[in-house]
């Protein structure tokens, strides 16, 4: 039996960059349901030179183990609704923020596949993964300049072309040492559930194949580079046609990507309006940033988030780190 899980990372910007208030929002989620949200939420932080834009990176929510794409999407919808209720900033599902150049400050949409024959399913997913990357690409900018389909995958923090060792952590597709699942790490966050639904169904259908597509690392590296820069070409279109015999992927979702849609919105509306538009797509309704006193915003809420979220989570964060090394 094939099982599925999903981790969705988003930026919560206030208004244009994330702040440590994200920890406060995560703490509110945690204490609503500690048994569930202790393991199925996470906080991420910037590193190195990217700290000049702030400490905080993305906030993460995750589904439990699901037995069908329909169940997974239903659970993700509920998670989005719950995050929307506690988040007092703009929820921006994008792989890399538009106006900066922060290679370590990125967000991802990660899908986990549970199965018996891991190597065969891994190889089959790898065969079609370049097309799925285009389907999910949503980080088209570096310093407000268009750089292709996925700048997050171009800079390669925590991702990269496939290696001989399927368990090596920082590549696009791995077998997780901690969970034992096949983990797809190459997808950018997507605001629209309809596109995620098609992506998840495609992954499920590929994982359910009885045939075997042998792993070709050089082919993958080549097609990946095309996918994250120029997008669909004749070679990738052939792979898309092959995949469309297995699962339903509308051609227009690959010829006009989420990155293309984000770029169009930015060109027409500007930066803040683009983030507000993505927040609306995520929430399903218009949201206005609340007015807070500077003392509450700068000190009380971040402190409450650190004490109420990061500190209780630290033992589990440490466990995950050593388990996944």
Domain edges within the chain:
3-324
pLDDT at 320: 79
240 Cβ contact list (under 8 Å, min separation 6): 131, 232, 249, 251, 254
> CA 250 → CA 68, 198, 244, 299, distances in Å?
20, 9, 8, 48
Which helix (H) or strand (E) is 186 found in, with range?
strand 182-187
> DSSP label at 230?
T
- How do residues 22-63 score in pLDDT, each as one tens digit? 999 999 999 999 999 999 999 999 999 999 999 999 999 999
Domain 3-324 has CATH 3.40.50.150: no
Task: Supply the mean pLDDT for the chain.
Answer: 96
CA distance 243 to 127: 10
Give helix then strand counts, H and E, for the chain: 14, 9
pTM for the full model?
A: 0.96
How many residues in total does the chain contain?
325
Token pair for residue 173?
A: 């597709």
Whether 305 shows a pLDDT value over 90: the answer reads yes
Largest CA distance in the chain: 60
**In whole angstroms, what is the distance from residue 284 CA to residue 291 CA?**
22
DSSP 302-314: HHHHIIIIIHHHH
292: confidence class by pLDDT, cuts 50, 70, 90: confident
């Amino acid at each position: 039996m094939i099982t599925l899980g999903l981790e969705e990372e988003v930026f919560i910007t206030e208004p244009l960059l994330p702040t440590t208030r994200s920890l406060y929002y995560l703490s509110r989620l945690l204490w609503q349901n500690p048994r569930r949200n202790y393991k199925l939420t996470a906080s991420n932080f910037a590193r190195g030179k990217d700290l000049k834009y702030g400490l905080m990176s993305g906030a993460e929510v995750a589904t439990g183990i699901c037995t069908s794409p329909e169940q997974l999407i239903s659970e993700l919808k509920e998670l989005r609704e719950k995050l929307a209720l506690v988040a007092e900033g703009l929820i921006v599902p994008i792989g890399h923020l538009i106006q900066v150049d922060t290679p370590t400050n990125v967000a991802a949409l990660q899908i986990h596949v549970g199965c018996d024959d891991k190597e065969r399913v891994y190889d089959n997913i790898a065969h079609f993964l370049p097309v799925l990357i285009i389907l999910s690409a949503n980080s088209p900018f570096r310093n407000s300049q268009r750089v292709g389909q996925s700048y997050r995958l171009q800079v390669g923090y925590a991702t990269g072309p496939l290696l001989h060792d399927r368990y090596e952590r920082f590549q696009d597709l791995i077998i997780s040492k901690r969970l034992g699942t096949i983990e797809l790490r190459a997808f950018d966050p997507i605001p629209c559930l309809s596109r995620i639904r098609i992506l998840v169904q495609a992954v499920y259908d590929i994982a359910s194949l009885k045939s075997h597509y042998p792993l070709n690392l050089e082919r993958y590296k080549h097609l990946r580079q095309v996918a994250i820069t120029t997008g669909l070409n004749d070679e990738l279109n052939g792979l898309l046609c092959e995949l469309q015999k297995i699962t339903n992927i509308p051609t227009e979702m690959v010829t006009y990507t989420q990155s293309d849609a984000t770029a169009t919105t930015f060109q027409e509306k500007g930066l803040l309006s683009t983030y507000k538009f993505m927040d609306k797509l995520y929430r399903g309704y218009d949201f206005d940033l609340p007015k807070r006193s500077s003392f509450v915003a700068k000190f009380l809420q971040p402190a409450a988030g650190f004490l109420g979220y990061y500190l209780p989570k630290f033992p589990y964060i440490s466990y995950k780190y050593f388990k996944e090394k």
